[in-house]
Amino acid sequence: MNIGQKIFRYGSVTSTNVILKELALEGFEPGTVVVSVIQTKGCGRLERAWDSPKGGLWLSVLLDTGGVQSGEKFGLIPLMTASAVADAMASTAALAARLKWPNDVLINGKKACGILGEILKVEGKQLAIVGIGLNVNNPVREGYEFSAVSTSVSEELGKDADLLELETAILSELANRNSLLNAGKYDQILNEWRGLSDTLGKRVKITTPTEEIEGIAKDVNESGSLVLERDGKVETIVAGDCEHFD
């Protein structure tokens, strides 16, 4: 099934990721999408809450990852989703979005979109859910997430944007990249992310549950981990929060 061929639309749900997981376990196929006007218990990365009032785009997509040969490549899913959102914002709203590792989409250095990727197995089949939270016409609570100042599409445009147009463009861009993933074209996904990255080349602070690490962001490796240079040594960071310094 193509991405977006079946879209469940709700006025209010706890979390579109949670609802989509239930639908996947009931047997709904990859390509299924859940969109909600509001979320009462939106989930962010690292078990944070995600503020989801009316006017934003809160959606989750069930992806087939059947062509992915090795689990370490699942790290590319949030990266390719971020690239898809950036391209959709460029084509529909003429906004030049940039990406912050691991999976934030920024406009003018402020976070407009967060992505929550999850892997699940249904009847032996490996699937992925990507949840996309894009501030569009909703008010944004400045600084509710410690490492990022937030913005929205309407704030950056100076007028409201068309939610459905953005949604359609994001789903179509995501479908293109999921085909690349399943065809093993990992370099294409990585190179696109590198080209859109605002993180690479910058001095950054990475906060993990156990430590804070400062260094220069050099690259992302073949599984989407951040390659950091610290005191002349190279380290690889799989997950964490990233703060840009310059």
Q: Draw the binding track, 87-116, toward ligand BTN (x: CB under 6 A; -: no contact).
A: ---------------------------xxx
Cβ–Cβ < 8 Å for 81, 115: yes
Q: Which stretch binds ligand BTN (CB under 6 A): 1-9, 69-77, 84-92, 128-136?
A: 128-136
Q: Which residue is nearest to ligand BTN (CB)?
A: 114
236 forms beta bridges with 227
Residue at token pair 């920024």: 106
Whichever of 48 and 244 has its CB closer to ligand BTN, that residue is 48
Q: Does 193 bind ligand BTN (CB under 6 A)?
A: no
**Least distance (Å) between residue 124 CB and ligand BTN:** 26
Q: Does 42 bind ligand BTN (CB under 6 A)?
A: yes
Q: Does 60 bind ligand BTN (CB under 6 A)?
A: yes
Whichever of 14 and 188 has its CB closer to ligand BTN, that residue is 14
Q: How many residues bind ligand BTN (CB under 6 A)?
A: 20
Q: Does 50 bind ligand BTN (CB under 6 A)?
A: yes
Kind and range of the H or E element at 196? helix 186-196
The contacts of residue 22 (CB under 8 Å, 6+ apart) are none
Q: Does 82 bind ligand BTN (CB under 6 A)?
A: no
Q: Does 53 bind ligand BTN (CB under 6 A)?
A: no
203 forms beta bridges with 216
Q: Which stretch binds ligand BTN (CB under 6 A): 3-11, 53-61, 183-191, 218-226?
A: 53-61
Q: Does 30 bind ligand BTN (CB under 6 A)?
A: no
Among the listed residues 48, 98, 205, 244, the single contact to ligand BTN using CB under 6 A: 48
Whichever of 135 and 225 has its CB closer to ligand BTN, that residue is 135
Q: Does 63 bind ligand BTN (CB under 6 A)?
A: no
**DSSP per-residue codes, the chain:** --TTSSEEEEEEES-HHHHHHHHHHHTPPTT-EEEEEEESS-B-GGG-B----TTSEEEEEEEE-TT--SGGGGGHHHHHHHHHHHHHHHHHH----EEETTTEEEETTEEEEEEEEEEEEETTEEEEEEEEEE-SSS---TTSBTTB-B--HHHHHTS---HHHHHHHHHHHHHHHHHHHHTT-HHHHHHHHHHHBSSTTSEEEEE-SS-EEEEEEEEE-TTSPEEEEETTEEEEE-S-EEEE--
Among the listed residues 4, 30, 131, 224, the single contact to ligand BTN using CB under 6 A: 131
**Least distance (Å) between residue 105 CB and ligand BTN:** 9
Which residues here bind ligand BTN, judged by CB under 6 A? 15-17, 39, 42-45, 48, 50, 52, 58-60, 114-116, 131-133
